[in-house]
Every structure is written in structure tokens, then in C-alpha cells.
């Protein structure tokens, strides 16, 4: 038993060289045959790298939203997660925000949020940006540091002061390299004094730039910019992660009571936590992964069939060679092994090129997008494993055909 194994290993080793020589002899044909495997493996490797990178970037972005954050949006949550209707309904009031701060024990900080889109004018330039009305706690809740100056205070909120904290992108568009601190920016002809500059945060969930905004006291925004008594959302920080679920339920109960919703009636608000958001985005990347997975499996299948086809051609072309080998005493198993190894060698070479191509593609994607793809050893190992299995699976039939040839007829074959 051990001896036959030894013979098999030795013969396989000899055969690898025969196989490589046969592949080299038909370089173009081999390359074309391996194309399916190359594309499939490249897709798998690139997909895994991009998927991992996107996942990591999402995780990082979700945690960058702030710790233990709950966001209440006006309007109901539709099935399937975020929809554009949220925040536009007129159901959330300042009273709701105050009640949450007052009555829910686990709440650490609350910031109402209203927003509108308006042109901001300063330094002789004009730039359309988001005017966002918030409370001083907003930065703490969103875990958002300042690059300079200070956040406006409680007093500014009470007096509806005309002060603003400017986003880094907005500052760049309006002031260029100048320091915006102390400068005046006019929105709807109202002059705001810039008291702080936000640190850059990059693209947020969904890709919109979070750095293009002007934070002003919510009182000022409601009175002078939006002219609306309703809130878009309420940002809430909960004391500890362990209390998130309970707090969410309590807030929901409180709001239902305040909005006088009868049992069985749907919520006219929606509460999101980071987990929901991560899951929503995760499900989207999951769909993308599934699609790419389908594309690459299809490509691998086509590649495998290509290998089977070319191996069948090879067996036919080399009928006489097979006859000679059988005549000089090759066992059917040795012939079988030879062609199986040729198929596996072909698919593994395709796999190797595919891995290189996949890593290159991942880097290309990385240089063209906001996140860094992550190539893992797992995905490369998987790619080679899949190539190997394809070689064995699609090489099996041609190899068996070769081994079953009748030597007399094979030797007579022209």
C-alpha cells in the first residue's frame, strides 16, 4: 500500500514536467483555455478584497457615527430600511426632543436636528450647502472633533445667536486657504459669525460628503432658515451599549404616547441604531457580493468546460502517444493520472495568473475609491483550491477516456 503510494507520487512528479512541457508547446491554446479560470479566479480574489475593504470601511464609518447613538427620524420606517421619506414628515417636535432628554433615564445627551439646503455667501464666493440646526451636544453625540475654534453654547441656542460652525469642505470652498474663524458667512442674507471649524470626516454612509455643511443653533435655523417648527431628526446618545435596546424601546413608547398613537397604529417616527445602519449597508454589499460571486462562478464553470474541451482535444490529438505508452507497459491508472495532472496543471496555472490579476484589480479599485481593498491569504488559498477542484472535476472525464483507449486502435490512429 505504502509502496503503491510511493509509485504514484513519483509518477505524478514525473508527469508534472510532461504536463508543463505539453502546455508550453501550445502556449496560446493553453492561455486561451485558461482564460475562463483566470477571469473567474481574478473576480473571486478582487471581489473578496473589495468586499473585505468595504466591510472594514463601513465598520469604521459606523463607529465614526458616534458611540451608542440612536437617531429618531420623523416619518415611519418602511420595510427594507432607509428610505428618502424619513425626516421629511412633520411629526417630530422640539417638545419630543425635550421629553426624551427629561424622561428617559439612560439618555446621556440629545440634539434636535433640522436642516435645509441654502446658498452660503462669504469672501465674495457663493456655495450651496446644508444648513444644519443642532444643539451644542451634537458634536459629542456624533463624536466629531473640531479642527479649530469652539462649538457654540447653550446661551447661543437660547438667544438664537447668528453663529456657525463650518464643515471643512464648505470652509475650503468659501475661504480657500484662508482661516474662516471670525469671518462672516451670509445665508439668506443673514450674517453668521464663524466660531468653529469641523475636522474632516470624509464621505458618510451613502456617500454624501459630511464635511459640506454649516452647523448653526437649532433655534436660529428653525426661526430664520427653515421656518419650520418640526424636526428632521433627534440624535440621542445612550449612556452604555448595554442599555441601547431598552432605551430604544422606552423612547419608542414615549413618542407613541406623545403622538397619541392608538395600539395597532403604525409609528409616525423611526428609530435607527448603528447596528441597523450597518445591517442595511451590509445587506447592500451582500447583494453586490452575491452578484460578483455569481459572475465568477459562471466564469469558473465556463473555464472548467473549456479545460474539459481542450483536454478532450488533447486526448484525441495524442491518441498515438497514449497507444505507445500503453504498449510499453503503462497502467491505465498512470495514463489517467497523466491527463488529470495536465488538466490540474492548466487550471492551477490559470489560477496563479488569476490571483495576480485579481490582486492588481483590487489595487486598481483601491486607488480609484475612498477605501482600501484587503487581500487576505484565505481568498488566495480559496482561489487555488477552487482551481484545483475545477482541474480535477473537468479533467476527470477526458483522463478516463484516455486511459480506456484500446492500444491496438490507438497505435493505428493517424
Partner 1 sequence: MNAADVAAAPVIRLRNLCKTYRTGAVEVRAVRGVTLDIARGDFVAVMGASGSGKSTLMNTLGCLDQPTAGDYELDGVDVARLSPPQLAVFRNRKLGFVFQGFNLLARTSALENVELPMLYTVPLIPRRERRRRALFALERVGLADRHDHHPNQLSGGQQQRVAIARALVNQPELVLADEPTGNLDSRTSIEIMGLFQELNAAGISLVMVTHELDIAAYCKRLVVMRDGRVIGDTVNPDRRSAAAELAALNRTEQQADLN
Vertex 20, ends 18 and 24: CA angle to 5°? 115
Contact 413, 323 (CB under 8 A): yes
What's the rounded Cα separation, in Å, for the pair 167 and 164?
10
264 conformational bin, left if phi > 0, alpha if psi -120 to 50, beta if neither: left
What's the rounded Cα separation, in Å, for the pair 123 and 121?
7
What residues contact 164, with CB distance under 8 A and at least 6 apart? 152, 185, 192, 193, 194, 195, 214, 215, 216
Residue carrying C-alpha cell 468659501 = 174
Q: Tell me the β-bridge partners of 126.
A: 121
What's 206's DSSP letter?
G
What residues contact 283, with CB distance under 8 A and at least 6 apart? 81
CB burial string 18-42: b at 16+ within 10 A, e below = ebeebbeeeeeebeebbbbbbbbbb
CB of 58 or CB of 337, closer to partner 1: 337
Cell numbers linked to 258: 406623545
Residue 227 DSSP SS3 = coil
Contact 184, 194 (CB under 8 A): yes
Chain residues that interact with partner 1, rule: CB under 8 A = 3, 6-7, 10-11, 14, 25, 320-321, 323-334, 407-408, 411
Helix (H) or strand (E) holding 15: helix 2-25
Q: Give the CA distances from residue 354 to residues 165, 175, 177, 347, 368, in Å, rounded to whole numbers and listed in that order.
A: 50, 48, 46, 10, 21
Cell numbers linked to 315: 486526448
Residue carrying C-alpha cell 449612556 = 239
CB of 4 or CB of 189, closer to partner 1: 4
Handedness of CA 35, 39, 44, 48 (dihedral sign): positive
What's the rounded Cα separation, in Å, for the pair 142 and 108?
12
Helices 377-403 + 332-368 axis angle, to 10 = 150
Amino acid at each position: 500500500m505504502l509502496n503503491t503510494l510511493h509509485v504514484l507520487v513519483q509518477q505524478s512528479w514525473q508527469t508534472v514536467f510532461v504536463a508543463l512541457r505539453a502546455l508550453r508547446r501550445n502556449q496560446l491554446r493553453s492561455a486561451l483555455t485558461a482564460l475562463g479560470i483566470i477571469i473567474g479566479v481574478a473576480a473571486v480574489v478582487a471581489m473578496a478584497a473589495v468586499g473585505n475593504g468595504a466591510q472594514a470601511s463601513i465598520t469604521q464609518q459606523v463607529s465614526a457615527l458616534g458611540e451608542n447613538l440612536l437617531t429618531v427620524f420623523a416619518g415611519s420606517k418602511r420595510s427594507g430600511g432607509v428610505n428618502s421619506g424619513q425626516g421629511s414628515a412633520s411629526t417630530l417636535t422640539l417638545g419630543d426632543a425635550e421629553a426624551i432628554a427629561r424622561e428617559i433615564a439612560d439618555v446621556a445627551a440629545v440634539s434636535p436636528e433640522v436642516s435645509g439646503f441654502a446658498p452660503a455667501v462669504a469672501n465674495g464666493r457663493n456655495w450651496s450647502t446644508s444648513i444644519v440646526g443642532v444643539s451644542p451636544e451634537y458634536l459629542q453625540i456624533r463624536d466629531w472633533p473640531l479642527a479649530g475654534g469652539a462649538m457654540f453654547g447653550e446661551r447661543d441656542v437660547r438667544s438664537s445667536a447668528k453663529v456657525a460652525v463650518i464643515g471643512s469642505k464648505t470652509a475650503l470652498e468659501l475661504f480657500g486657504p484662508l482661516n474662516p474663524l471670525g469671518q462672516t458667512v451670509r445665508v439668506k442674507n443673514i450674517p453668521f459669525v464663524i466660531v468653529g471649524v469641523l475636522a474632516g470626516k470624509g464621505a458618510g454612509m451613502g456617500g454624501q460628503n459630511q464635511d459640506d455643511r454649516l452647523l448653526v443653533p437649532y433655534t436660529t435655523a428653525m426661526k430664520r432658515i427653515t421656518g419650520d417648527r418640526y424636526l428632521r431628526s433627534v440624535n440621542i446618545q445612550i449612556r452604555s451599549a448595554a442599555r441601547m435596546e431598552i432605551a430604544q424601546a422606552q423612547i419608542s413608547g414615549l413618542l407613541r404616547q406623545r403622538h397619541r398613537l392608538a395600539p395597532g397604529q403604525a409609528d409616525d417616527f423611526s428609530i435607527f441604531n448603528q447596528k441597523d445602519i450597518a445591517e442595511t449597508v451590509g445587506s447592500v454589499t451582500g447583494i453586490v457580493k452575491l452578484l460578483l460571486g455569481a459572475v465568477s462562478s459562471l466564469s469558473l464553470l465556463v473555464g472548467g468546460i473549456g479545460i474539459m474541451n481542450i483536454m478532450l482535444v488533447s486526448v484525441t490529438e495524442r491518441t498515438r502517444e497514449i497507444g505507445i505508452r500503453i504498449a510499453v507497459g503503462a497502467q491505465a491508472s498512470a495514463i489517467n493520472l497523466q491527463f488529470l495532472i495536465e488538466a490540474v496543471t492548466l487550471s492551477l496555472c490559470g489560477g496563479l495568473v488569476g490571483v495576480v490579476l485579481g490582486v492588481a484589480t483590487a489595487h486598481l479599485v483601491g486607488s480609484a475609491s475612498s477605501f482600501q481593498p484587503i487581500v487576505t491569504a484565505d481568498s488566495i488559498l480559496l482561489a487555488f483550491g477552487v482551481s484545483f477542484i475545477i482541474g480535477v472535476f473537468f479533467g476527470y472525464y477526458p483522463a478516463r477516456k484516455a486511459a480506456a483507449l484500446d492500444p491496438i486502435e490507438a497505435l493505428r490512429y493517424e
